Amino acid sequence: MISSNSGTDFIALAKASGHDPMEIINQPEFKDWLIEHLASTDLTVEFTKKDGEKRRMHCTRNLDKIPSLHQPSSSKTSSTTDAIPVFDLEKSEWRSFNLSNLTRIEWSLT
């Protein structure tokens, strides 16, 4: 079980500032920003899986945090779907989540 990292929740911030977080998340620039951000740090995301189950995942795309055995052979990140492949730091495996199913995006301010 992942405990909260006492980070800042993007979706809660967007709502508090009067914005619809899904309008922001659905912008292509947001996906690019998120992928770029994950390449330099780690985040905790919460999302609804296809079966309706809620899932919380501490993840990254930062190669410094991914064991060499699991590092990708290419750095291709573009996709026509809203799925983002990430390395699950708790399970030590690659997983993905869909932007449209996000309910929380949390990062530490360190």
Residue-wise pLDDT for 1-23, tens only, equals: 333 444 567 788 888 888 888 88
**Per-residue pLDDT at 1:** 34
The domain at 8-70+79-107 falls in which architecture? Roll (2.30)
Does 52 have pLDDT greater than 90? yes
**Per-residue pLDDT at 4:** 43
Average pLDDT over residues 26-38: 89
Coil vs helix vs strand at 87: strand
Does 80 have pLDDT greater than 70? no
Whole-angstrom Cα distance, residue 49 to residue 97?
Answer: 8
